[in-house]
Amino acid sequence: MSTAPFDPLDPHRPVAHLRPPRNWINDPNGLAFHDGYYHVCYQYNPHGTRHENMHWGHFRSPDLLSWEPLPLALAPTAGGEDADGCFSGNAVSDGDRLIAFYSALRQDRWYQPVTTATSRDGGRTFRPRGGLVIPEPPDGCTMYRDPYVWRDGARWRMLVGAALADGRGAALLYESPDLETWTYRGPFCAGTSQPVGSDDRDTGEGWECPQYLPAASGHGALIYSAWDDHDGPSCSVALTGHETGDVFEPGAPVLLDHGPDCYAPALMRAPGSRWLLWGWSWEARDEDWAAQDGWAGTLTLPREISLADDGSLHQLPASELLALRGDHSVHAEGRTTGADPVELGEVGRSFDLTARLDTSGEAGLRLVTAADGSEYLDIRLDPATGHLVVDRDRASRDGRARGGSHRMPCPADRPVDLRVVVDHSIAEIFLTSTGQVLTLRFYPTGADLWRLQARSAPGAGLGYAVDAWELLSLVVKAPSGDAALPERRSA
Ligand code: FRU
């Protein structure tokens, strides 16, 4: 069990990203708009910084900016079907009730069947149904968990993540008239593992946390997290396509997030036909380091996600987050051709940046996090291969942080518009023209003010226009009966 106290000055703790003060979190769960609030639950170990003892923690917000921790939504029931943990799932509102569907963990079963718990008091308390709504997987599964329920006209539908004995990953489809009696309809979609993205990843042997965004005329997007028995979780994948009967016909798989550190993204159907998405950003540092700091994992920013007519998915930070912009700390425009970097200005450890970059050769932005320039995160364009490259090899002088560089496709025939949100140890880099995103964690050790630089390879030439704002912290109300999370503005 972690005994690390809550340290409000922890340099790596995000301030504008949602997570509880202490302990381990993973997947966002139970995302629903209910009773006038956005409800966000998450996989939570209330006793330590490792993945065990899974409960559902719970926040709600009227506006995505101020959040109120509610009591734990779900806890394992001694001797019950979820005796060893309440694994992932979602929640639906039917007006009066908020009904959570989740995976019931018992160590003596290889699968995690579906059960529910219901709240009739706006999510303050949930009453477990007891027993299971789907007691067993269909034949031919080797992994089975993570229900996702949505309303489709008069009926309810559910996907459950699976690995099949024939080697395919799958999202299995069920249907119900009343949220209680479920009929199995077969695989909604299934596929063998194949390469996806630019960085040596694949679509997985098992599909965790399937999510479905239905759009007009039978079109839709199926999102899932690629997993295999040997290496565990790897990346999040999106399939766009259309439904024919009970089967989803997908186009080619793409990465939902091109970074190394976004997994188990989950959807919320929000008012105004809006879809929001949160992911889990895991730690990219030694477990012991996280244990010493007393916390591990954060949710990503809430993102608006939409399916364009050409079948591509676009993500951008939810527009509400513009209200977190504080001081306008950097405004710089110009051109550099040379060997020397151009200093653009100083930023805090939490900032929101827009940039237009125009180059025909290797060029980009460097976030320098130590005065002597020895520690930095590089974001650069590589027009020759048509990628945006994010390199964290020198982003921490602490050898316990992961390095490596990561790429996302980026059109090379026009200026590139970026939105970059950096919050202490998480960077979410959006290509605003294509709606693609890359999430990664990094752990600077420099105590100095951070600096932005524009750089170009000799002969490349870079035109830039950069604006950065201080990113203010979310307002998180003190939880009742627990240690208060102090309100804090960014450093
Ligand atoms: C994904 C996942 C889910 C599971 C949960 C357990 O990260 O492995 O498949 O339900 O986390 O915490």
**Residue 15 binned pLDDT confidence (cut-offs 50, 70, 90):** very high
The CA distance from 17 to 278, in Å, is 10
Ligand 1: does its nearest atom lie under 6 Å from the Cβ of 369? no
User: What was the pLDDT predicted at 480?
Assistant: 60
Residues 23-35 have pLDDT tens digits of 999 999 999 999 9
Q: What confidence tens digit (pLDDT) does each residue in 413-433 have?
A: 999 999 999 999 999 999 999
Q: 491 pLDDT exceeds 80?
A: no
Q: Cβ(169)–Cβ(206) under 8 Å?
A: yes
Q: What are phi and psi of 217, to 5 degrees?
A: 55, 40
Mean pLDDT, all residues of the chain = 95
The mean pLDDT value for 393-410 works out to 97
Per-residue pLDDT at 199? 81
Percent of the chain with pLDDT strictly greater than 90: 92
Which pTM was predicted? 0.96
Q: What is the b/e burial string over 62-92, where b = at least 16 CB atoms within 10 angstroms of the residue's CB?
A: eebbebbbbebbbbbeeeebbebbbbbbbbb
Binned at pLDDT 50, 70 and 90, residue 316 comes out as very high
Summarize pLDDT for 210-241 with one digit per residue, the tens.
999 999 999 999 999 999 999 999 999 999 99
Better-scored residue on pLDDT, 281 or 481: 281
d(CA 324, CA 474): 8
Per-residue confidence band for 200, with pLDDT thresholds at 50, 70 and 90: confident
Closest CA to 171 of 157, 155, 190: 190
pLDDT at 447: 84
pLDDT confidence tier of residue 8, bands split at 50, 70 and 90: confident
Q: How confident is the model at residue 203 (pLDDT cuts 50, 70, 90)?
A: very high
Give mean pLDDT, residues 234-252. Answer: 97
Residue 21 has pLDDT above 80, yes or no: yes
Task: List, in order of start, the domains of the chain with CATH numbers.
Answer: 23-317 (2.115.10.20), 325-475 (2.60.120.560)
Which tens digits make up the pLDDT trace of 94-126?
A: 989 999 999 999 999 999 999 999 999 999 999
Of 23, 24, 27, 261, the residue with max ligand 1 atoms within 8 A of its CB, to mutate for a pocket test, comes to: 27
**Å from CA of 233 to ligand 1 middle:** 9
User: Does 2 score more than 80 pLDDT?
Assistant: no
Q: With bands split at pLDDT 50, 70 and 90, how would you rate the model's confidence at 470?
A: very high
Nearest CA to ligand 1 atom 12: 87
Q: Write out 199-250 in H/E/C secondary structure.
A: CCEECCCEEEEEEEEECHHHEEEEEEEEEECCCEEEEEEEEEEEEECCEEEE
What is the Cα–Cα distance from 16 to 350, expressed in whole angstroms?
Answer: 8
Give me ligand 1 centre to Cα 55, in Å. Answer: 11
How confident is the model over 50-92, as pLDDT tens digits?
999 999 999 999 999 999 999 999 999 999 999 999 999 999 9
Nearest atom of ligand 1 to the alpha carbon of 208: 9
Model confidence at 411, pLDDT cuts 50, 70, 90, reads: very high
- Give the Cα separation of 434 and 416 in Å (integer): 10
Confidence of residue 294 (pLDDT cuts 50, 70, 90): very high
209 ligand 1 Cβ < 6 A: yes
Side-chain half-sphere CA neighbours of 189 within 13 A: 27
Cβ(145) – ligand 1 distance below 6 Å: yes
